[in-house]
């Protein structure tokens, strides 16, 4: 499996964010997108996820499931955690597992993997920022999709959680997955760097 | 199908929890209808004549009240991104969300109608006629309102916009809903004619609403 983009151009609010951007990543590889604030790291991830209209260029996935679009084979972990405060941690996770379909894993195991077992029945409203982030990460585990698009994945995570997350990412890559992460901080795993928007 | 079932169950569950929209709509409906007899005075014949119109206006405003959060809540917490990336067609997801909203916020209005009918001096048969027209007509309110709710997502603070966009679309529903109720109560028109048109409006909006809302959400990607 190989994900590649050619000649990508992105315009937001009449301003060109980037143009002529090239990138590629193969299965088992992590790509760290780095650059100053406003360089278009999040825009690039949302372009790949199909959440932003392209203003030029193309993104191709070779060797994926031909029946599915790129977005349907990707997980997007954004700034917003897609969890409902009124529902409990387990209800949130079970909903996404059922809604996204595919091959769902046991929600209890996913929560255990991110160290949230003790909070399973708590409404998501009572979680701290770091715990909410760990719950979103559990969503990546609950439904298996080969491409992970991560936007500042380690923000709000403490050192121990960052180590756990690095382990989860390593396991995902070892299983033939692919990671594109926009980040300022080191990911904690070996990653190739894609620098956009000049020097930071 | 299990994906849509999960979406409907989640939305109903959120609506029924503390801070959800289901009870707010019913309470608003109750307030509007309870205040009417005080404003109009103790003329029982007048209340009976205006009853169906008052119940329909109350139901229309109550369903608009909670509709603007239909997509906004999912947009604000990022759920909409994940829904867009799922294998479920967006049109079906929109239809499922509207159905959940109708079940959680529309059905309670219909259930409350018999109680409120008593306050407006409507007898049993008249109340049943109004409840039947509401049952046939409120899906049209929800499914046309959904289009406005989807448009409001792309514009910040679109709450007022929703009312402006949706009210013209709901006027035919209001006209034929009240006409059918009045035909059943007082005649001389037959009940069937306006009621059939009301059902047709609901069926048309069931088809058009999801497509229009999905198109609007896709166009408003940001």
Give the model confidence (pLDDT) of A102-142 as tens digits: 666 788 888 888 888 888 888 888 988 889 999 999 988 88
- C-alpha to C-alpha distance for B99 and A200, rounded to whole angstroms: 49
Mean pLDDT to the nearest integer, B143-148: 90
Checking if the pLDDT of B120 tops 90, the result is no
Mean pLDDT to the nearest integer, B127-149: 91
Q: Averaging pLDDT over each range in A87-96, A103-112, B14-23, B41-50, which range is the top one?
A: A87-96
| Residues of chain A in Cβ contact (below 8 Å) with chain B | 49-53, 68, 71-72, 74-76, 78-84, 86-87, 91, 95-96, 98-102, 139
Mean pLDDT to the nearest integer, B179-196: 84
pTM, 2 dp: 0.89
- Percent of chain B residues topping a pLDDT of 90: 31
Place of tokens 């399973």: A120
Would you kindly state where each structural domain of chain B is located, as residue ranges? 2-219
Q: Which residues of A51-88 are buried (b: 16+ CB within 10 A; e: fewer)?
A: bbeeeebebebeebeeeeebbbbbbbbbebbbbbebbb
Mean pLDDT to the nearest integer, B84-100: 91
**B77 in helix, strand or coil?**
coil
* CATH for A2-195 (3.90.226.10, 3.20.20.150, 3.40.50.880, 3.40.50.300): 3.40.50.300
- C-alpha to C-alpha distance for B28 and B165, rounded to whole angstroms: 21
Task: Give the pLDDT of residue B218.
Answer: 87
- C-alpha to C-alpha distance for B100 and A95, rounded to whole angstroms: 15
User: Which residue among A78, A84, A101 sits closest to B14, beta carbon to beta carbon?
Assistant: A84
Which candidate, A179, A108, A171, places its Cα nearest to that of A142?
A: A108
Place of tokens 């205006």: B50
Q: Which of B87, B93, B218 to mutate to test the interface with A (most CBs of A within 10 A)?
A: B87
Q: Do B6 and A51 touch (CB under 8 A)?
A: no
Task: Give the pLDDT of residue A103.
Answer: 67
Residues B36-42: contacts with CB within 8 Å, 24+ apart? B36/B119, B36/B120, B37/B119, B37/B120
Checking if the pLDDT of B159 tops 70, the result is no
Would you kindly state where each structural domain of chain A is located, as residue ranges? 2-195
Task: Give the pLDDT of residue B209.
Answer: 93
What does the H/E/C string look like for chain A?
Answer: CEEEEEEEEEEECCEEEEEEEEEEEECCCEEEEECCCCCCHHHHHHHHCCCCCCCCCEEEEECCCCCCCCHHHEEEECCCCCCCCCCEHHHHHHHHHHHHCCCECCHHHHHHHCCCHHHCCCEHHHCCHHHHHHHHHHHHHHECCCEEEEECCCCCCCHHHHHHHHHHHHHHHHCCCEEEEECCCCCCCCCEEEECCCCC
User: Which residue among B5, B18, B77 sits closest to A83, beta carbon to beta carbon?
Assistant: B77
Digit-coded pLDDT (tens) for A9-47:
888 888 888 888 888 888 888 889 988 888 888 888 888
Digit-coded pLDDT (tens) for A70-113:
888 889 998 888 888 888 898 888 888 888 886 667 888 888 88
pLDDT, mean over chain B: 87
Half-sphere exposure of A51 (CA within 13 A, CB side): 24
Q: Do A84 and B87 touch (CB under 8 A)?
A: no
Mean pLDDT to the nearest integer, B196-210: 93
Which candidate, B95, B112, B110, B113, places its Cα nearest to that of B11?
A: B95
Task: Give the pLDDT of residue B102.
Answer: 92
DSSP 8-state secondary structure symbol assigned to residue B150 = H
Half-sphere exposure of B180 (CA within 13 A, CB side): 26
Residue A172 · residue A148 · CB < 8 Å? yes
- C-alpha to C-alpha distance for B152 and B163, rounded to whole angstroms: 10
Mean pLDDT to the nearest integer, B90-115: 91
Task: Give the pLDDT of residue A200.
Answer: 42
Q: Do A51 and B76 touch (CB under 8 A)?
A: no
Q: Averaging pLDDT over each range in A66-70, A86-90, B47-51, B184-188, which range is the top one?
A: A86-90
* Other beta carbons within 10 Å of A140: 23
What confidence tier does B168 reach under pLDDT thresholds 50, 70, 90? confident
Give the chain B residue whose CA is nearest to the CA of A78.
Answer: B78
Q: Which of A99, A133, A152 to mutate to test the interface with B (most CBs of B within 10 A)?
A: A99
Task: Give the pLDDT of residue B166.
Answer: 83
Mean pLDDT to the nearest integer, A131-155: 89
Residue A90, strand partner residues:
none
- C-alpha to C-alpha distance for A97 and A5, rounded to whole angstroms: 29
CB pairs under 8 A between A and B: 81
Which candidate, B142, B161, B155, B166, places its Cα nearest to that of B70?
A: B142
Checking if the pLDDT of B19 tops 80, the result is no
**A51–chain B nearest CA distance, Å:** 6
Which candidate, B99, B100, B105, places its Cα nearest to that of B23?
A: B105
Task: Give the pLDDT of residue B97.
Answer: 93
Checking if the pLDDT of B70 tops 80, the result is yes
Ranges assigned E (strand) in chain B: none
Digit-coded pLDDT (tens) for A189-200:
888 888 887 654
Task: Give the pLDDT of residue B126.
Answer: 85
Q: Do A100 and B13 touch (CB under 8 A)?
A: no
Task: Give the pLDDT of residue B158.
Answer: 63
Which candidate, B92, B211, B213, places its Cα nearest to that of B152?
A: B213
Q: Do A82 and B78 touch (CB under 8 A)?
A: yes
Mean pLDDT to the nearest integer, A136-150: 89
Checking if the pLDDT of B164 tops 90, the result is no
Measured in degrees and rounded to the nearest 5, phi and psi for residue A84 equal -90, 125
- Percent of chain B residues topping a pLDDT of 70: 97
Measured in degrees and rounded to the nearest 5, phi and psi for residue A12 equal -120, 120
| Residues of chain B in Cβ contact (below 8 Å) with chain A | 2-3, 5-7, 9-10, 13-14, 17-20, 76-79, 81-88, 221-222
Give the chain A residue whose CA is nearest to the CA of B9.
Answer: A95
């Amino acid at each position: 499996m190989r994900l590649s983009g050619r000649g990508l151009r992105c315009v937001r609010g009449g301003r060109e964010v980037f143009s002529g951007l090239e990138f590629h990543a193969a299965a088992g590889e992590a790509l760290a997108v780095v650059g100053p604030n406003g360089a278009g790291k999040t825009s690039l991830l949302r372009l790949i996820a199909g959440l932003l209209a392209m203003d030029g260029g193309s993104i191709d996935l070779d060797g994926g499931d031909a029946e599915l679009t790129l977005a349907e084979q990707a997980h997007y972990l954004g700034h917003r955690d897609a969890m409902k405060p009124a529902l409990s941690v387990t209800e949130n996770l079970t909903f996404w597992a059922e809604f996204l379909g595919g091959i769902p894993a046991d929600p209890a195991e996913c929560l255990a993997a991110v160290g949230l077992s003790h909070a399973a029945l708590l409404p998501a409203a009572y979680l701290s920022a770091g715990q909410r982030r760990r719950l979103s990460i559990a969503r990546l585990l609950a439904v298996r999709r080969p491409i992970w698009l991560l936007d500042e994945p380690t923000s709000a995570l403490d050192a121990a959680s960052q180590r756990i997350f690095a382990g989860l990412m390593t396991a995902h890559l070892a299983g033939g997955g692919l990671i594109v992460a926009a980040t300022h901080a080191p990911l904690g795993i070996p990653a190739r760097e894609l620098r956009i928007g000049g020097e930071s | 199908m299990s994906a849509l079932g999960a979406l409907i169950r989640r939305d109903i569950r959120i609506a029924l929890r503390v801070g959800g929209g289901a009870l707010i709509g019913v309470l608003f409906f109750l307030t509007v209808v309870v205040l009417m007899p005080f404003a109009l005075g103790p003329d029982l014949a007048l209340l009976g004549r205006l009853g169906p119109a008052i119940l329909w206006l109350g139901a229309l405003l109550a369903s608009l009240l909670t509709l603007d959060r239909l997509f906004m809540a999912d947009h604000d917490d990022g759920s909409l991104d994940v829904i867009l990336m799922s294998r479920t067609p967006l049109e079906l997801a929109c239809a499922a969300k509207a159905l959940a909203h109708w079940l959680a916020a529309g059905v309670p209005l219909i259930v409350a109608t018999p109680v409120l009918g008593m306050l407006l001096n409507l007898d049993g048969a008249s109340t049943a006629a109004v409840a039947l027209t509401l049952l046939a007509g409120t899906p049209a309110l929800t499914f046309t309102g959904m289009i406005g709710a989807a448009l409001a997502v792309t514009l910040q603070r679109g709450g007022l916009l929703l009312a402006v966009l949706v009210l013209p679309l709901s006027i035919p529903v209001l006209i034929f809903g009240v006409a059918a109720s009045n035909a059943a109560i007082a005649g001389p028109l037959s009940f069937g004619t306006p009621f059939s048109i009301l059902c047709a409006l609901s069926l048309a909006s069931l088809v058009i609403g999801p497509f229009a809302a999905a198109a609007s959400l896709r166009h408003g990607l940001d």
